[in-house]
Chains A and B, each alone.
Chain A
């Protein structure tokens, strides 16, 4: 069997599995549709949360981003795991005790205000759509790279599958498919890493191998730093961004993680408050397996690349160079016309991505020719897409075909599970928070369930369309999602639990200030042409959510102190959610 046959087989089997689970666990009530009947075990919820959280970007792109960013890439590793500590200690148990279905539910009840509820609904929907576009695109990309299916057809297949199990199964169906998807994605991620670690250091555990030595007894990280230095790159194990910016980005990602509605609602699905705490622990453990493996893959792959490609003539380069050049993830422009691949810092041509000439035109060495404007003089000649670090790893290290197929199934599992979780947020925000709680409170349970299914269906279609015609600012708006979650949801939920006296005017004005400031800053510096010279204290738009949160606190607390305390029943509710049982 060749790679493609293996891929069709493994992807087919996993899809059949997801559909089987969806049929077995379909939702019959709104409680099952929104929160899986609150009967999910902490272990299963931990796995589902991990799959929910780890997206196509975590699976496919993160190791590659770290491979090129080195120490500066640590912001993603700490930021996207550290938020779970905040969730477990500050949010999840109390929100579970609160016991409703959604984040806007909490906002509306705790701040006794439809305005707070509607602000929360808008934020939840905006954040989720921002995210979901990338997931559907990810499904298409995996299909096109591994199965030679058109990207758009891949998106449509993904849409069909998610449509089936999200609309039918609701949260209950999604939870158990996510458990299966976690198992597949973590298996697919770690197996190639085991092989690689063993090949490089003789120890199969990637986390140990990364701190190990190669066959000559040289430390892997010292070796990589040396290779990078020889080629003129910056060192791998030191920060190169300013410490303040690193702190702000890390904090914004942590606070954003804790405030993302698709993560929070997973903790509504467990039976008891203590289960919410322990399932946050399980979730972080399952996430940590991938997140501590990624930096090892990053170093193995970068070292391997630097050892085999630079200063080798194109015709003698390893076979994967031309294989991945065919898919457009590698490009080579022979700037000094010597037939040898020069690699170093700097761009190989004008523009971020290679644009290949129509009709498979080849240069004198057999390389694909590019339409990009040339850069004069010698310098870096090699373009390497970051995604290649995970996608091409099995092939670069000569692993069996079924491992390559497994990576495809893993990428799909990561993208589909996250897309489904986000769809639940959108669907419940519409059917529960808008229709049931604002527009038509008298709607019957069956009616609400029907609205929820229709909302999920419409959301799938919108997500698919965003995947087929991705707005080119998708990557930029992800910063937005985290910034908004950090500057609106996190402070409002946190103060709502830990400060009984905190009231509606403080919460609403604080959220509006946080959102307003963060939105303005990101728009100014991402879209309206602001340059990094204009950044406040050198803080990049990715990190501005932290400042947005501080502003939120700075405005909300004085306003709450100057206005009337919340009504007695709300204060009573706050006392009640602080303990697991009843008093």
Chain B
């Protein structure tokens, strides 16, 4: 049994790394990408339905909303991974 459990821990960690990488790519894209480097270009557009220049919106509003969503997604994903690989904490 110890052999299989160890594999589960390793597989859990590998799946975790995939989630972390994917979410951090989005994290960097909305902040460093849309909020900073692409912001001057995005500013020619408006956020649909509002008077927000799009680059400005990402820099001062949008990126923050996305950050919150990223953590929520990670929490849900990890709770599922913990159960799938049987590595949850004892209550």
Q: Does A250 contact B (CB under 8 A)?
A: yes
Q: Is A338 an interface residue (CB 8 A)?
A: no
Given A74-B35, A211-B52, is A579 in contact with B9 using a C-beta cutoff of 8 Å?
yes
Q: Which single member of B16, B47, B53, B64 contacts A81 (CB below 8 Å)?
A: B64
Which single member of A250, A277, A579 contacts B13 (CB below 8 Å)?
A: A579
Minimum Cβ distance to chain A for residue B43 (Å): 6
Where chain B touches its partner, the secondary structure class is helix
Task: Select A274's contact among B16, B36, B75, beta carbons within 8 Å.
Answer: B75
Partner of A89, one of B24, B39, B56, B64: B24
A222 to B53 Cα, complex, angstroms: 9
Q: Per a CB cutoff under 8 Å, which of B55, B60, B72, B82 touches A581?
A: B82
Neighbouring B residues of A580 by C-beta, 8 Å:
82, 87-89
Chain A, 51-90, CB within 8 A of any chain B CB: 66, 71, 73-74, 77-78, 81-82, 84-85, 88-90
Q: What secondary structure prevails in chain A residues at the interface with B?
A: helix
Given contacts A221-B52, A246-B36, A292-B61, contact A273 B89 (CB under 8 A): yes
Chain B residues whose CB sits within 8 angstroms of the CB of A2 once the complex forms: none
Summed over the interface, the residue pairs from A and B with CB atoms below 8 Å come to a total of 146
In the assembled complex, which residues on chain A have CB atoms less than 8 Å from the CB atom of B16? 578
User: Taking A78-B31, A277-B75, A580-B82 as contacts, is the C-beta distance between A292 and B53 under 8 angstroms?
Assistant: no
Residues of A with C-beta under 8 A to B24: 85, 89
Determine whether the beta carbon of B89 is less than 8 Å from that of A221.
no
Compute how far the CA of A82 lies from the CA of B63 in the bound complex, rounded to whole angstroms.
8
At the interface with chain B, which of A134-142, A235-243, A524-532? A235-243
Q: CB-nearest residue of chain A relative to B43?
A: A237
**What is the 8 Å Cβ interface bit string for chain A, positions 176-217, against chain B (1 contact, 0 not)?**
000000000000000000000000000000011011110000
Which one of B24, B36, B53 has the greatest number of beta carbons of chain A within 10 Å? Answer: B36
Whether a CB of chain B sits under 8 angstroms from the CB of A285 is yes
Cα distance, A292 to B56, chains bound together (Å): 12
Q: Is the CB of A238 within 8 A of B32?
A: no
- Interface size bracket, B side: 35 or more
Q: Is the CB of A247 within 8 A of B32?
A: yes
Q: Which one, A66, A78, A292, contacts B35 given CB within 8 A?
A: A78
Interface 1/0 per residue, A546-583 and B, CB below 8 Å? 00000000000000000000000000000100111111
Which of B35-91 touch A at CB < 8 Å?
35-37, 39-40, 43, 47, 50-53, 55-57, 59-61, 63-65, 67-68, 70-72, 74-75, 78-79, 82, 85-90
CB-based nearest B residue for A254:
B31
Partner of A88, one of B57, B60, B74: B74
**Which B residues touch A90, using CB under 8 A?**
20
Per the bound structure, the CA–CA distance linking A151 and B61 in Å amounts to 35
Q: How distant is the Cα of A208 from the Cα of B50 in the complex, in angstroms? A: 8
In the complex where A77-B60, A581-B87 touch, is A238 in contact with B74 (Cβ < 8 A)? no
Task: Return the chain B residue nearest A286 by Cβ.
Answer: B68
Knowing A212-B51, A281-B75, A579-B9 are in contact, say whether A85-B23 is a contact too (CB < 8 A): yes
Bound Cα distance A73, B75 (Å): 30
B12 neighbours in A (Cβ, 8 Å) = 578-579
The yes or no answer to A414 lying at the interface (CB within 8 A) is no
Query: Chain B: which residue is nearest A223 at the CB level?
Result: B51
Contact of A211 among B50, B64, B75, B85 (CB under 8 A): B50
> Could you tell me if A284 and B32 are in contact, using CB atoms closer than 8 angstroms?
no
Shortest CB–CB separation between residue B34 and chain A, in angstroms? 10
Supposing A71-B59, A212-B51, A580-B87 touch, asked if A274 and B71 sit within 8 A by C-beta, the answer is no
**Complex: chain A residue closest to B69, CB-CB:** A281
Known contacts A78-B31, A250-B36, A581-B87; A85/B82 CB under 8 A:
no
Asked whether any CB of chain B lies closer than 8 Å to the CB of A278, the reply is yes
Distance (Å) between the CB of B25 and the closest chain A CB?
A: 12
A452 within 8 A of B: no
Q: Does A288 contact B (CB under 8 A)?
A: yes
The verdict on A220 contacting chain B, using a C-beta distance below 8 Å, is yes
Residue of chain A at shortest CB distance from B39: A239
Known: A85-B71, A583-B9. A237 touches B56 (CB 8 A): yes
- Give bound CA distance, A291 to B35, whole Å: 15
Closest to B21 in A: A89
Please determine whether A74 and B60 come into contact, CB atoms closer than 8 angstroms: yes
**Chain A residues near B64 (CB-CB < 8 A):** 77-78, 81, 288, 291-292
- Complex partner residue of A220 from B23, B51, B63, CB under 8 angstroms: B51
Q: Are A284 and B71 in contact (CB under 8 A)?
A: yes
> Is A274's CB under 8 angstroms from B68's CB?
no
Shortest CB distance A73–B (Å): 8
A262 on interface, CB distance cutoff 8 Å: no
Alpha-carbon distance between A581 and B81 when the two chains are bound, in angstroms: 12
Residues of B within 8 A of A579 (CB): 9, 12-13, 82, 85, 87
| A280 sits at the interface (CB 8 A) | yes
Q: Which partner residue on chain A sits nearest B17 by CB separation?
A: A498
A85→B23 CA distance, assembly (Å)? 9
Contact surface of B with A, Cβ cutoff 8 Å: 5-6, 8-9, 12-13, 16, 20, 23-24, 27, 31-32, 35-37, 39-40, 43, 47, 50-53, 55-57, 59-61, 63-65, 67-68, 70-72, 74-75, 78-79, 82, 85-90
Q: List 11 A-B contacts (CB under 8 A).
A: A71-B59, A74-B36, A77-B59, A78-B35, A221-B51, A221-B52, A243-B36, A247-B32, A277-B74, A295-B60, A580-B87
Given contact pairs A221-B53, A239-B39, enumerate 16 new A-B contacts (beta carbons under 8 Å).
A74-B36, A78-B59, A82-B31, A82-B63, A89-B20, A90-B20, A93-B78, A210-B61, A238-B43, A247-B36, A274-B79, A277-B78, A281-B72, A292-B65, A581-B82, A583-B6
